[in-house]
């Protein structure tokens, strides 16, 4: 009975979202930008041997996981092969530099103008990072025989390919900012979301072929694990600890002073770090195999060491999964504490006349909040570390190694979906409509 009452409300809310002219315009604009993104993802970089590129993806399973984030652009090696990840890397670098560099600290405290300047600096950092990453991918493909004429002795073709890849990345960043300004918000996240969703049909097709080759029981178990992980992601994404806060307000009436108290709470999220620890950990854990790939054709000790690293630092090896698990665990605590220190909640509460009941303002409140965030981060860190390695556990348990269940991709998809629903909910509530989240 409850389901019958809820389902028409959800359908009616979706209809209401499209009947509102401004909200409909934002939704259609976002869909249009995603269509443009998919067209760009199919513009190939010239000089690529597609047959050898396909063989390379079969030989290196990790590339299939990275290709998932670009929506197939890396498998075709289009101008959008790097996606918006150089911009994500630049944003993370800026977040880590703001509390360290005094000039950036002062910019961050200047409000909207300061944040805009930091955003401009982030864009400038993105360009050399994209060029570096693009050149690294070209060298990797050149070593595999996928692309010819790459290197310092062929500056013109190499520079043209690098510039085209950098231009593709910056174009996607610009599309994301258009979605943020004229669409439904969080444009860069939606661009990543669109790339991941575009790769889902291929994943489903691989799963069906794997089931035909063996049996359907493994595929059903794999789907069950994926749904279970999705539920866990939703739970831990929304989970938070409420810290009660009281405010002492002073009001003057008729020449007399009156004190009135107000109460609220601070929501401390269990998973404050989001998906960033997974990106940090994956970047480090694939670094040895990435470097070894450049030397795998060498002779002597160098070639033997490179082959050994490539053999052990693969997604199917327990060493890779063990290191990945503990790197995610450590980066979760590191990034959470960095973000939490930047918020300076204790100082903000003291300036606004707020206090935690039973806790003295100032350093005592700061120590108390640090202790709380440290305790609840254990749950978030263990959750992220488990989500990081569960794809490999699922592949081994179900004998479906052809499937690529990306934990980072699932976190992005669930997070962007929840955030988009909240924004649509806010838009509908502003117009006194009943929203999605009820």
User: What pTM was estimated for this model as a whole?
Assistant: 0.76
Q: For residue 248, what pLDDT band results from cuts at 50, 70 and 90?
A: low
Q: For residue 126, what pLDDT band results from cuts at 50, 70 and 90?
A: very high
In sequence order, which residues have a C-beta less than 8 Å from that of residue 119 and are 6 or more positions away? none
> pLDDT tens for residues 51-62?
777 777 766 656
282 and 161 both lie in a single domain: no
Kindly report which listed range (174-183, 189-198, 380-389, 416-425) carries the lowest average pLDDT score. 416-425
Residue of 118, 96, 123, 91 lying closest to 107 (CA atoms): 118
Q: Is 407 helix (H, G, I), strand (E, B) or coil?
A: helix
383 and 417 both lie in a single domain: no
Domain-located, residue 210:
no
135 and 229 both lie in a single domain: no
Please report, for residues 257, 258, 323, 356, 361, the alpha-carbon distance to residue 249 in angstroms, rounded to integers and kept in the order given.
10, 8, 52, 15, 16
Domain-located, residue 128:
yes
The pLDDT, as a whole number, for residue 358 is 82
> pLDDT tens for residues 250-302?
555 555 544 455 677 888 888 888 877 887 787 777 777 767 766 666 666 76
CA 132 to CA 135: how far, in whole Å? 5
Please report, for residues 203, 336, 337, 380, the alpha-carbon distance to residue 330 in angstroms, rounded to integers and kept in the order given.
31, 10, 11, 11
φ/ψ of 384, rounded to 5, equals -65, -40
99 and 194 both lie in a single domain: yes
351 and 428 both lie in a single domain: no
State the average pLDDT over residues 162-186. 88
Domain-located, residue 28:
yes
388 and 245 both lie in a single domain: yes
Please report, for residues 43, 97, 183, 293, the alpha-carbon distance to residue 47 in angstroms, rounded to integers and kept in the order given.
12, 39, 36, 21
Sheet containing strand 240-253, edge to edge, reads: 256-269, 240-253, 354-355
Q: For residue 71, what pLDDT band results from cuts at 50, 70 and 90?
A: low
What CATH number does residue 90 fall under? 1.10.3370.10
Domain, as residue range, for 285 = 215-399
In sequence order, which residues have a C-beta less than 8 Å from that of residue 239 and are 6 or more positions away? 269, 270, 271, 379
Structure tokens at 398: 């179900």
414 and 393 both lie in a single domain: no
Domain-located, residue 209:
no
Tally of structural domains, the chain? 2
CA 388 to CA 278: how far, in whole Å? 7
Residue of 275, 224, 220 lying closest to 409 (CA atoms): 275
């Amino acid at each position: 009975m409850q389901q019958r009452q809820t389902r028409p409300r959800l359908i009616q809310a979706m209809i209401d979202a499209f009947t509102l002219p401004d909200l409909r315009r934002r939704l259609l604009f976002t869909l249009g930008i995603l269509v443009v993104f998919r067209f760009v993802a199919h513009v190939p970089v010239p000089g690529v041997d597609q047959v050898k590129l396909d063989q390379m993806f079969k030989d290196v399973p990790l590339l299939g996981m990275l290709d998932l984030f670009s929506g197939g652009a890396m498998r075709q090696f289009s101008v959008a092969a790097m996606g918006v990840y150089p911009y994500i890397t630049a944003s993370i670098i800026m977040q880590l530099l703001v509390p360290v560099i005094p000039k950036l600290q002062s910019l961050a405290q200047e409000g909207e103008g300061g944040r805009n300047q930091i955003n401009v600096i982030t864009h400038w950092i993105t360009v050399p990072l994209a060029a570096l990453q693009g050149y690294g991918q070209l060298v990797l493909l050149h070593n595999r025989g996928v692309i010819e004429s790459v290197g310092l002795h062929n500056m013109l073709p190499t520079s043209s390919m690098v510039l085209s890849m950098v231009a593709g990345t910056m174009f996607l960043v610009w599309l994301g900012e258009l979605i943020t300004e004229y669409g439904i918000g969080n444009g860069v996240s939606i661009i990543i979301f669109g790339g991941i969703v575009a790769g889902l049909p291929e994943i489903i097709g691989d799963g069906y072929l794997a089931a035909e080759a063996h049996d359907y029981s493994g595929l059903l178990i794999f789907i069950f694990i994926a749904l279970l992980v999705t539920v866990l992601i939703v739970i831990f994404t929304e989970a938070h600890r409420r810290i009660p806060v009281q405010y002492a307000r002073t009001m003057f009436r008729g020449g007399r002073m009156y004190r009135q108290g107000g109460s609220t709470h601070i929501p401390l999220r269990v998973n404050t770090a989001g998906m960033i620890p997974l990106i940090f950990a994956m970047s480090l854990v694939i670094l040895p195999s990435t470097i070894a790939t450049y030397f795998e054709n060498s002779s002597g000790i160098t070639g033997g060491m490179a082959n050994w690293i490539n053999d052990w630092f693969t997604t199917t090896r327990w060493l890779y999964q063990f290191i990945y698990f503990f790197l995610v665990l450590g980066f979760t605590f590191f990034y959470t504490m960095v973000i939490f220190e930047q918020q300076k909640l204790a100082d903000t509460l003291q300036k606004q006349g707020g206090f935690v009941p039973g806790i003295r303002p100032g350093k005592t409140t700061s120590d108390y909040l640090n202790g709380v965030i440290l305790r609840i981060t254990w749950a978030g860190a263990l959750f992220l570390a488990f989500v990081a390695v569960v794809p490999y556990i699922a592949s081994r348990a179900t004998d479906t190694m052809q499937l690529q269940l990306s934990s980072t991709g699932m976190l992005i998809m669930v997070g962007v979906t929840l955030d988009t629903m909240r924004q649509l909910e806010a838009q509908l509530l502003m117009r006194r409509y009943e929203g999605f989240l009820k």
